[in-house]
Amino acid sequence: MRDKRRGGRSCAGRPREDTAMDSFQSTGNAPLRPVRRLLESGSVPPPPFLAPPLARSWERCLKAGLVPFARPYGGDPLPALRLREVVERRRALVRQARPVMEELYARVRGTGSMVILADDQGVVIEALGDPEFLRRAERVSLQAGACWHENDRGTNAIGTALAEGGAVVVHGPEHFFDCNRFLSCTAAPVRGSDGRVLGVLDISGPGQGRPPTLAGLVETAGRTLENALFAEHHASAWCLHLHPRVEGLGRLGEGLVAVNGAGQIVGANREAQALLGIPPEALGRIALESVLDTGLDALKDLTRRGGVARLAGRDGHSLFVQGQEGARRRQPSGKAVPPDALAALDTGDERLRLCLERARKVMDKGIPLLLHGESGVGKEKVAAAIHASGPRRDRALVAVNCAALPETLIEAELFGYAPGAFTGARREGAPGRLREAHGGTLFLDEIGDMPLALQARLLRVLQEREVVPLGGGKPIAVDFALIAASHRSLKQAVEQGRFRADLYYRLNGVTLTLPPLRERSDFPALVHRILEDLAPGAGVALEPDVANTLARYRWPGNLRQLFNVLRFACALLDPGERSIGWAHLPEDLIEDLGTGPAPDTSLRATADAVMARTVAECQGNLSEAARRLGVSRSTLYRRLKGGRGGEA
Ligand SMILES: Nc1ncnc2c1ncn2[C@@H]1O[C@H](COP(=O)(O)OP(=O)(O)OP(=O)(O)O)[C@@H](O)[C@H]1O
């Protein structure tokens, strides 16, 4: 039997890790020293001196005979073979946890922390993190194979999260044992779909300063892991996604229910258990119909149609529900990684890069995006890339140009119409663009040009997430990611009463302002990328003085204009020609370069003079002049004949 006053060895001989104790304040902002002194005399301070879960934990530790200033009993880490057995027992947990841990660590990288996965007994299965801190943590056996059960290591995030069955933060001297007070740890249990705790996720770091937001981060990671385990465990069952709001579907907080072929609920994540009032012990013994106004056949039908249904829960509250066939969730092995369309747009401009990074961060969070920028900066292209890089990429991207449609048509185009809704309408009616975007992304271009009356209707759709077709009919639930774009300032339009303020705030989850081409710092790289797209592998490039001049041009038509200019130039190249010179540029550009305000010199004059001088230097030998100018003989001849390039 273990000694009642366990951990008789003193920590005194060990190096003091730090002085976090001096700055320690518990939940009630109580000063540390008296609280700690109380513990050393064998009592636990009442709340608010210590958060209740920690006070309960200290109580348990004292009852178990642990001594705060002694060395924890914990014992040595498991030998490799035993650890492998533990890992093997928790194979699915470990496999699904790895990417989650890596993501978690990416969020705290640079804070000198580590991320830990422990099993349901508190045995550390995996740990990754800052090498320096990993070494420090090893000194107190916070490493793979070591057991951090509360019975052995006193109050600590892993052990106490297990004992309390919920997320805990144990900061500095809130650890029961003195020698662990250099740690600041946050842990959350991970549960299986039957409610049983499978393990614990933890972030541990140096204890200076209380980490303010890690609890949410660890809990969110725990939920992600739970849902991944759910999907793997119930891969062959029919699955129901549910949420009280349609935009909650596909998000972390959605309820997940697995239904077997007999219509029995065999799994439900925490959210689904709460939404449907299913106790974990009822799983496997409860029929879908008994908690939701639907059965397995209706679920299969819904899944085949790929739609969202609004159903009544047992307590009468409505829930949005989407079905998924089990086999479909299995990842086809060897599936090609889709090209990263957002990354492909990054050619080195810092402002654009920031926009793309922001877009990437919010694109799967259900936040509407508003793209702003001059005409031709690539708003539609960016919207398409956001869609192609996001989780909805397999569904439709529906683009509607609100400026291009007459006011009378845009309503029917967007909202659809019932059969025979108006003269000239299709007999069978039309679903409308909003419904076509269901499951995918809706891109509303030139939203600033939408008539005011339609703005009110659109706002209603965005709020209710339901569309009522023109001419009546039942509201139809819709779920799409929303990207809107405008080249005008919507804020100004709101001030001038041309745009509804409430719709503006609804659309403007995040505004990304794309830089005009003249302000971009990546002109050469951008030209290179476009030329590569236009003539793959041909090595086409701008002549240096053309490149220099074009880089300083004001580009009123932005990327649209640049793209058209380069496409025109490539079309003029003779076979084998790879250098774009003055002779390859469209005349209107040359004219603009000559008269526009941006260039320092008249490019047309420059081009003319250069050509004339070269031809003169070559004593009228056009072949030689063309070679020196980097253009073909026929191009030079054409330009000379057209009066451009000077008199030869
Ligand atoms: N990154 C890019 N690479 C190459 N070409 C581009 C790029 N972005 C835009 N373009 C070109 O510019 C054209 C206009 O782009 P896009 O329609 O995305 O701009 P926009 O800002 O939405 O314009 P508008 O405000 O006039 O609707 C595209 O058709 C394409 O030819």
CB-ligand 1 contact for 515 (6 Å cutoff): no
Complex ipTM tops 0.85: yes
Would you state the pLDDT for residue 323? 81
Q: Where in the chain do CATH 1.10.8.60 domains reside? A: 518-641
Res 41: pLDDT? 82
Cα distance between residue 170 and residue 185, in whole Å:
5
pTM confidence score: 0.47
Q: What is the pLDDT of residues 378-420, one digit of tens each?
A: 999 999 999 988 888 878 888 888 877 676 677 777 887 766 6
User: 530 CA distance to ligand 1 centroid (A)?
Assistant: 12
Atom of ligand 1 nearest to the CA of 514: 21
Q: What is the pLDDT of residues 580-600, one digit of tens each?
A: 988 888 888 888 887 443 444
379 C-beta closer than 6 A to ligand 1:
yes
Identify the residue whose C-alpha is closest to ligand 1 atom 25: 375
Contacts of residues 7-12 at CB distance under 8 Å and 24 or more positions apart, as own/partner, are: 7/66, 7/67, 7/70, 7/71, 7/72, 7/73, 7/177, 8/67, 8/70, 8/71, 9/70, 9/71, 10/69, 10/70, 10/71, 11/69, 11/70, 11/71, 11/177, 11/178, 11/179, 12/69
Residues of the chain with CATH 3.30.450.40: 1-233
**Atom 3 of ligand 1: nearest residue by CA position:** 530
Could you tell me the two tokens for 288? 């879908």
Which CATH number fits the domain 346-515, given the four candidates 3.40.30.10, 3.90.25.10, 3.40.50.300, 3.40.50.720?
Answer: 3.40.50.300
Q: What is the arithmetic mean of pLDDT over 257-263?
A: 85
Banded model confidence at residue 160, pLDDT cuts 50, 70, 90: very high
CATH 3.40.50.300 placement within the chain: 346-515
pLDDT of amino acid 162: 97
**Average model confidence (pLDDT) for the chain?**
80
Residue 184 pLDDT greater than 80, yes or no? yes
Predicted confidence (pLDDT) per residue in 514-547, tens digit: 999 999 999 999 999 999 888 877 788 999 989 9
- Centre of ligand 1 to C-alpha 354, Å, is 18
Mind listing the pLDDT tens digit for each residue in 31-53? Answer: 567 778 888 888 887 767 788 89
Given a cut of 70, whether residue 4 has pLDDT beyond it is: no
In CATH, the number for domain 518-641 is 1.10.8.60
Instruction: Supply the pLDDT for residue 336.
Output: 34
Does the beta carbon of 443 lie inside 6 Å of ligand 1? no
**What pLDDT shows up at residue 307?**
67
Q: Is the CB of 376 under 6 A from ligand 1?
A: yes
Residue 100: is its pLDDT beyond 80?
yes
Mean pLDDT across 222-236:
86
- How does pLDDT run across 116-154, given as a tens digit for each residue? 999 999 999 999 888 889 999 998 999 999 999 999 899
1-233 CATH: 3.30.450.40
Question: 322 - beta bridge partners?
Answer: 241, 308
Mean pLDDT along residues 347-359: 92
The ligand 1 atom at the shortest distance from the C-alpha of residue 564 is 31
* Reported confidence tier of residue 15, pLDDT bands at 50, 70, 90: very low
Own/partner pairs for 540-543, CB < 8 Å, 24+ apart? 540/570, 540/573, 540/578, 540/579, 540/580, 541/578, 541/579, 541/580, 542/579, 542/580, 543/579, 543/580, 543/581, 543/582, 543/630
State the closest ligand 1 atom to the C-alpha of 381, by its place in the atom list counted from 1.
18
